[in-house]
Amino acid sequence: MEIAKAQVQLDSDQLEDAQQELARISGDNRAQIQREHAAREDDMRKYEGEAHTSGQVAIVVADRIGTLAGRVGAWSRQRTRYQLLQQAIGKAQTDIIQLTEDHNTLETDADKGAGSADTQD
């Protein structure tokens, strides 16, 4: 029984290795895409957690802060939020460009594959 279990585990490992090799050879980037998606979701959860901690709208906060020092501090926090938003926008735009390039490459490869399959018929 132990030998059969060990053989099943070995076969499973070999199957997984073969699937990964096939994915690598065929250009299947699902695993990489899933990792990037998970990282993006983690970034969004982190951002949302930070965004909800302040809990007040900037205009309301500015009205409640009467001192010059308080207003300068509020301005500084708003500036930091603005910079974080600009960074997020830049990262999103970079990701869009990269994903578009990847999509176009995959589409071109698929068209080449379809073209060679048509010539073999």
> What pLDDT is recorded for position 8?
92
Percentage of the chain lying above the pLDDT 70 cut: 79
Give the confidence band of 117 by pLDDT, cuts at 50, 70, 90: low
> What pLDDT is recorded for position 72?
83
The token pair at 37 is: 């998606």
Residue environment code for 59-72, b if the CB has 16+ CB neighbours within 10 A, otherwise e: eebeeeeeeeeeee
* Helix intervals (H) in the chain: 2-26, 30-54, 58-64, 68-120
Residue 65 near residue 75, CB atoms below 8 Å: no
Quick check: pTM over 0.95? Answer: no
Distance, in Å, from the CA atom of 16 to the CA atom of 50, rounded to the nearest integer, reads: 39
- Span 52-106, pLDDT tens digits: 655 555 555 555 666 888 778 878 888 988 898 899 899 999 999 999 998 888 8
What's the mean pLDDT when you consider all of the chain? 79
Give the confidence band of 30 by pLDDT, cuts at 50, 70, 90: confident
CA-wise closest residue to 50 among 79, 23, 72, 81: 81
